[in-house]
Amino acid sequence: MAGQNNQLKLLGSFASPFVLRVKLALSFKGLSYDYEYIEEKDLLNNKSELLLKSNPVHKKVPVLIHNGKPVCESMIIIQYLEEAFADAGPSLLPSEPHERTVARFWASYIDEKLLSSWMMVFRGKTDEEKAEGTRQSFAVAATLEGALSECSKGKPFFMGDSVGYVDVALGGFVAWIHALEKLYGLKLFNARKTPLLAAWLERFCELDAAKAVMPDVEKLVELTKTRRAQAAAAAAAVAQGN
């Protein structure tokens, strides 16, 4: 447990999948009640002095502050938690070196491929760009289906019987997976094309440690609609100005 000699603060935003990753890791490791969460209310226009001081390079959340020392980037934070709180809860990284490397590889793949394809869906300016984003998203899902099949060896989660590093990496996107379905009808993990991932998604969402920190999907949907409306209004204002 964190305790008086391990003061933890987490700087975050409710909509960030990367912040959710850290919340999930803290929850699965039994540290949910041992940290102070500080919501950054306006990351676009009014970042806090604490955030700017703690992450002067990227100026982004999440940032974990442990006894006054900041740690940045979601997966680096999770690795830090594994080392700094090795006695707290289950280990998220496998102990065997090759399995540990495999877990890091797939977590990196999720960051590089899944996020970029989603950005094309969210931010694509044409129907063709959005369609390409959708195509790439399903291609990534198919690859992850194969990874889950190979790595799990028939067990419930990516690296075995319990939630681990890859599950937390992908788990950070779970709320947005549901939001994408509501916003665009994009059911990324479905029982027909990716049955293992569909079962994983249902299993993961039923875990108490995941439920405890999962954001409200409807709020994510409304946030996206609001931002789209703001962007459309700004574009219209620019066009009128020309």
Tens of pLDDT, residues 55-86: 999 999 999 999 999 999 999 999 999 999 99
For residue 242, the model assigns a pLDDT of: 62
pLDDT tier for residue 241 given thresholds of 50, 70 and 90: confident
**CATH T-level fold of 8-84:** Glutaredoxin (3.40.30)
Delimit the domains of the chain by residue range. 8-84, 97-217
128-185 pLDDT, tens digit each: 999 999 999 999 999 999 999 999 999 999 999 999 999 999 999 999 999 999 998 9
Tokens of 14: 């409710």
For residue 45, the model assigns a pLDDT of: 86
Cis bond upstream, residue 62 (ω within 30): yes
DSSP H helices, 173-216, are: 174-184, 195-205, 208-211
Q: 97-217 — its CATH code? A: 1.20.1050.10
For residue 120, the model assigns a pLDDT of: 92
Percent pLDDT > 90 in the chain is 83
Rounded CA-CA distance 204/173 in Å is: 12
Identify the residue with better confidence: 24 or 45. Answer: 24
Identify the residue with better confidence: 150 or 240. Answer: 150
Q: Answer whether residue 224 shows pLDDT above 90.
A: yes
For residue 239, the model assigns a pLDDT of: 76
For residue 131, the model assigns a pLDDT of: 93
Angle at alpha carbon of residue 63, lines to 62 and 65, rounded to 5°? 150
Rounded CA-CA distance 82/78 in Å is: 6
Rounded CA-CA distance 117/139 in Å is: 9
**38 DSSP β-pair partners:** 11
Rounded mean pLDDT of the chain? 93
Rounded CA-CA distance 51/118 in Å is: 26
